[in-house]
Chains A and B, each alone.
Chain A
Amino acid sequence: MQTLLSHIRPATARLTPGRAVVVAMLLGPIVGALLAFGSVAAEEANVVTIDNFTFTPPELTVAVGTTVKWVNHDDIPHTVVDKNKAFRSKALDTDDSYSFTFASAGTFDYFCGLHPHMVGKIIVK
C-alpha cells in the first residue's frame, strides 16, 4: 500500500492545482477501495492469535514496515517478548491485543514471558 501511495504522490505533485483536484476526485474511490482491501488483507495476514497457549501461525513472514498484531483468546494472560528484547508487550488479558511495527529486516524469535514454552517467530524481509 505504501508503495502505491508513494507513486501517486509525485504524480499529483506535477499537476496544476486544478487538475490535481480532478485527478484526486477520480482516484479517490479507487484509492479508498485499495486501502480498504489492503487493510482487510493485512488483518488476515499479519495477525498472530493466541489460543490454547499456542501462537498461530507459529512462523510469519512479513515485509519491512509491517505492523503485526497479536490477539489473546485464552482465559489466561500472556505476553509477547522478543528473545533479543526488540519488543515486549504488557500482559494481555482475554481479547487484549498488542501491535509492533517491524522497521528493519531480520528474524525475530519471541515467546510468552509467563509461559516461555510458548514460542513463535516473525521473519521480516
Chain B
Amino acid sequence: MAKKGLDDHGKGLGRREVLECMVWAGTGVLWTVSGGVPHSVGLIGEAAAAEPTGFTFLQMSDSHIGFDKAANPDALGTLREAVAKVKAMPMKPSFIIHTGDITHLSKPAEFDNADKVFGETGVQIHWVPGEHDIIDEDRGKAYLERYGKGSKGAGWYSFDDHGVHFIGLVNVVDLKGGGLGNFGAEQLAWLEADLKDKSNSTPIVVFAHIPLQVVYKEWGWGTEDGTRAFELLKRFGSVTVLNGHIHQLVQKVEGNMTFHTAMSTAFPQPAPGSAPSPGPMLVPADQLRTKLGLSKVTVVQGNKPLAFVDQTLA
C-alpha cells in the first residue's frame, strides 16, 4: 500500500533519480501510524477498508485562499470540495495538519474565508505558516494572532497524540538572499530542547511548509539548515516529515525517515525543472481536480509503518 505514493500512474514524470517518486493526483494523503511508523494506505476511497485500529489524521496544504488567476480562478471553491471530502469520511480524522499557505496574500478577508470553510470540518487543525501567510504589513503578525496561540517564535510548537510526538516548524521567515527555506538558530535550539527527553522509540512527525530536504535547489525547494534538524532527529526509530509548498506529491524513504509533500487544494506546480519557473501550472479545466488533493494518515499502534492515502479532488 505504501508503494502507492511511489507510482506516477504512467504520467512519465522525469527526475525520478532525484525524487524517487511523485504523483499528481490527490485530495489528501491518509496516514496510518503502525507501531509508531506512519505509512500511507492508498487513496481515500480505498483506505476505508484498511482503516481501523489506529488513529488517523489528515494533511492539507497550500489552500492559497485569494488566488484567482488562470490556474484556478476559484481556490475557495476547490477548498470547499476538499472539505466536503473530509466531511464525507466514514471515520473522522483525529485532527488536520495544515502545512501552510492558507492564504495567497495574508489579507484578513482571505484568512476569514479560510477559517470559515476549514471550520466546517469540525476537526481541530494544527497550522504552520507558509511564506504567503506572513506578507501582511507586520510580516507575520496577522498569522500569529490567529494561529500562534501557545507557539514560540514565528509559530513553532509541539504536541503529543496517541504516543506520537508532533512538531510544527517554521521555515519561511528571515530567508537569506540566494538561499533556501530557513529555521534559524533559535528554532533549532528549541527543537533540540524539545527532543531532549524523548526516547528513541517515540514516533516523531515533523511538519513545516517548505520541504526540509532539498527537492530542487534551483527553485529554492529545500531548507538551508534542514540537515541540522535531521541530525537532531536521526536517533529516533521513526521520523515522518510532512511538507507542502511544491504543490505535488513527492514521497521518499531514507533509513528511518519518511518524507511526504502534499498536494495543494488550489493549483498544481510543475515537476522540478520541467518548466521555466515554479509558478502555477495551467492545466485543462477538466484535469485540475486530478492534481489537487489532501492526504490521510493512519497511525496503527503496533509494529507497522504509518499509512498514507493521497486523494485527489477528482
Instruction: Show the binding face of A for B, using Cβ within 8 Å.
Output: 52-54, 74-77, 79, 81, 83, 90-91, 93-94, 109-111, 113-119
Query: Considering only CB atoms, which chain B residue lies closest to A93 in the complex?
Result: B105
A52 — which chain B residues lie within 8 A by C-beta?
276-277, 279
A sample of 26 inter-chain contacts (CB < 8 A) reads A52-B276, A52-B277, A52-B279, A53-B219, A53-B277, A74-B279, A75-B69, A75-B279, A77-B105, A77-B132, A77-B135, A79-B135, A83-B177, A90-B135, A93-B105, A110-B177, A111-B177, A114-B132, A114-B175, A116-B176, A116-B177, A116-B220, A117-B179, A117-B180, A117-B218, A119-B178
Verify if B97 is at the interface (C-beta below 8 Å from A). Answer: no
Known contacts A77-B104, A90-B137, A94-B69; is-contact A116 B180 (Cβ 8 Å): yes
Distance, CA A111 to CA B131, complexed state (A): 15
Q: A114-B135, A119-B178 are in contact. List 15 more A-B contacts (CB 8 A).
A: A52-B277, A54-B277, A75-B69, A75-B279, A76-B280, A93-B105, A94-B69, A109-B177, A110-B177, A111-B176, A111-B177, A114-B131, A116-B177, A116-B178, A117-B220
Interface size on B, residues (CB 8 A): 25
Which interface residue of A53, A83, A93, A117 has the most chain B CB atoms within 10 A?
A117
- Tell me the smallest distance from the CB of B181 to a CB of chain A, in Å: 9
Contact B279 A53 (CB under 8 A): yes
What distance in Å separates the Cβ of A97 from its nearest Cβ neighbour in chain B? 16
Interface: B278 (CB within 8 A): yes
Contact B280 A75 (CB under 8 A): yes
On chain B, the residues within 8 Å of A118 by CB distance are 220
A119 near B278: Cβ-Cβ < 8 Å:
no
| Interface residues in B212-244 (C-beta closer than 8 Å to A) | 217-220
Specify the chain B residue showing the minimal Cβ separation from A84. B177
- Shortest B243–chain A CB gap in Å is 16
Shortest CB-to-CB span from B161 to chain A, Å, is: 32
Distance, CA A113 to CA B106, complexed state (A): 15
User: Is there contact, CB below 8 Å, between A75 and B70?
Assistant: yes
Does B71 sit within 8 A of A, measured CB to CB?
A: yes
Which 3 A-B residue pairings sit nearest by Cβ, starting from the closest?
Answer: A111-B177, A52-B277, A117-B220
Complex Cα gap A117–B280 (Å): 17
Q: Which residues of A contact B131 (CB under 8 A)?
A: 114-115
Please name all residues of chain A whose beta carbon is closer than 8 Å to the beta carbon of B179 when the two chains form the complex: 116-117
Task: Report A118 CB to chain B, min CB distance, Å.
Answer: 8
Most buried by B among A110, A116, A118: A116
Q: Which residues of A contact B279 (CB under 8 A)?
A: 52-53, 74-76
Chain A residues within an 8 Å CB radius of B220 = 115-118
> What chain B residues lie within 8 Å of A113 (beta carbons)?
175
Report how far A81 CA is from B173 CA in the complex, Å: 13
Give chain A residues whose Cβ lies under 8 Å from the Cβ of B276. 52
- In contact, B135 and A111 (Cβ under 8 angstroms): no
**Roughly how many angstroms separate A77 CA and B69 CA in the complex, as a whole number?**
12
Interface contact B105-A116, CB-CB below 8 Å: no
**B:160-195 near A, CB below 8 Å:** 175-180
Please give, as numbers and ranges, the residues of chain A lying within 8 Å of B71 by CB-CB distance.
Answer: 75
Contacts of B278 in A (CB 8 A): 53, 115
